[in-house]
């Protein structure tokens, strides 16, 4: 039972966030995504709210009518309705290019995440990500890190600082390699470094379909094959067992 823990769906030219880095001019539907899952023998997929749709999770939530899909949403901290959906398994903070959040504003949210065993997902550049994790440490919640923590070759050494977080309930998505200096060998170095710090059970796979901003360089098949190279002998445990509890499967 393969599980893909990171994909996006959206309609062309739609955005709901106040500030956007990118708005695709094409549709990426749940039907197309499910076809990819079937073609590559994946049993389940997890839809991640894209940054350009802000807190309007309606398109994602509608897709969760399919039993093979789960969701991770983006919310305002004063409105947890979408987060409480039975097939939503986490909250995402899209922090690329943004200031570190004040988690005093998220106290009720973080208490709910802990009680419900849902997780908080962080998308942030490595040098600033570490500061966010330090702030979250006291809340005792599950933390999911997108795209192997987004290091660059210049910040690679900062991965050593994850040794300070070994006691946290922290996980990593083995995904988005083309976002890591567009160098697959470097991505493998990043994975190997994190694997030396954390148990292999702390890693899950994400296709990052439909690979926004990189559509001409990557597709579902290449993303999967690249993962197999990066994960090596650990491929099966990452694809199968690691994600079940985290994503309510």
Q: Are 74 and 88 in contact (CB under 8 A)?
A: no
List the chain domain ranges: 2-239
Dihedral sign, Cα of residue 104, residue 148, residue 114, residue 54: positive
Class level of CATH domain 2-239: alpha beta
Of 153, 171, 101, residue with least CA distance to 132? 101
- Work out the pLDDT band at 136, boundaries 50, 70, 90: very high
Q: Are 160 and 190 in contact (CB under 8 A)?
A: no
The tens digit of pLDDT for each residue in 33-82 reads 999 999 999 999 999 999 999 999 999 999 999 999 999 999 999 999 99
pTM of the full structure: 0.96
Of 112, 81, 104, 106, residue with least CA distance to 93? 106
């Amino acid at each position: 039972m393969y599980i893909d823990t990171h994909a996006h769906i959206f309609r062309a030219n739609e955005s709901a966030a106040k500030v956007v880095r990118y708005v695709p001019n094409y549709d990426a539907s749940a039907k197309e995504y499910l076809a990819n899952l079937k073609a590559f023998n994946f049993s389940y997929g997890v839809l991640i709210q894209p940054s350009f749709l802000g807190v309007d999770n309606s398109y994602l939530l509608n897709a969760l009518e399919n039993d093979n899909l789960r969701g991770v949403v983006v919310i305002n901290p004063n409105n947890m309705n979408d987060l409480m959906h039975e097939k939503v398994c986490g909250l995402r903070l899209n922090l690329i290019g943004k200031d570190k959040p004040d988690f005093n504003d998220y106290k009720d949210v973080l208490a709910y995440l802990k009680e419900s065993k849902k997780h908080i997902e962080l998308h942030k550049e490595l040098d600033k990500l570490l500061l966010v994790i330090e702030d979250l440490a006291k809340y005792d919640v599950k933390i999911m890190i997108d795209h192997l923590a987004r290091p660059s070759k210049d910040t690679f050494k900062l991965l050593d600082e994850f040794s300070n977080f070994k006691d946290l309930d922290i996980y990593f998505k083995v995904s988005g390699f083309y976002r890591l200096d567009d160098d697959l060998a470097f991505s493998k170095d990043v994975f190997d470094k994190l694997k030396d710090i954390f148990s292999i059970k702390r890693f899950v796979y994400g296709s990052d379909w439909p690979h926004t901003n990189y559509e001409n360089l990557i597709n579902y098949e290449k993303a999967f094959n690249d993962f197999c190279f990066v994960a090596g002998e650990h491929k099966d445990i990452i694809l199968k067992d690691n994600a079940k509890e985290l994503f309510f499967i």
